[in-house]
A = this chain, B = another copy of it.
Amino acid sequence: MEDKSEEVKAQKATIVVQSGDMDKLYSALIIANGCLSMGMMVSMFFTFWGLLRLKKGGLEKAPLSKMHYLGLGKWMINRRMKSKNVRSLERLFQDYVDLGGKVLACDMTMEIMGVGPKDLREDLITEYCGVGTYVNEARYSSITLFI
A contact set with B: CB distance below 8 Å = 1, 3-6, 8-10, 13, 16, 18, 20, 23-24, 26-27, 30-31, 33-35, 37-38, 40, 47-49, 52, 66, 69-70, 77, 80-81, 84, 86, 108, 111-114, 130-132, 134-136, 138-147
Known contacts A5-B5, A9-B6, A84-B112: A136-B27 contact under CB 8 Å: no
Question: What copy number does this chain have within its complex?
Answer: 3
Q: A34-B131, A86-B108, A145-B146 are in contact. Are A10 and B70 (CB under 8 A)?
A: no
Determine the distance from Cα of A84 to Cα of B134 in the docked complex, in whole angstroms. 21
- A140 neighbours in B (Cβ, 8 Å): 1, 6, 10, 142
Please state if A3 and B1 are interface contacts (CB–CB under 8 Å).
Answer: no
11 contacts between A and B (CB under 8 A): A5-B5, A5-B6, A13-B138, A16-B145, A20-B66, A26-B48, A38-B132, A40-B135, A49-B69, A80-B114, A81-B112
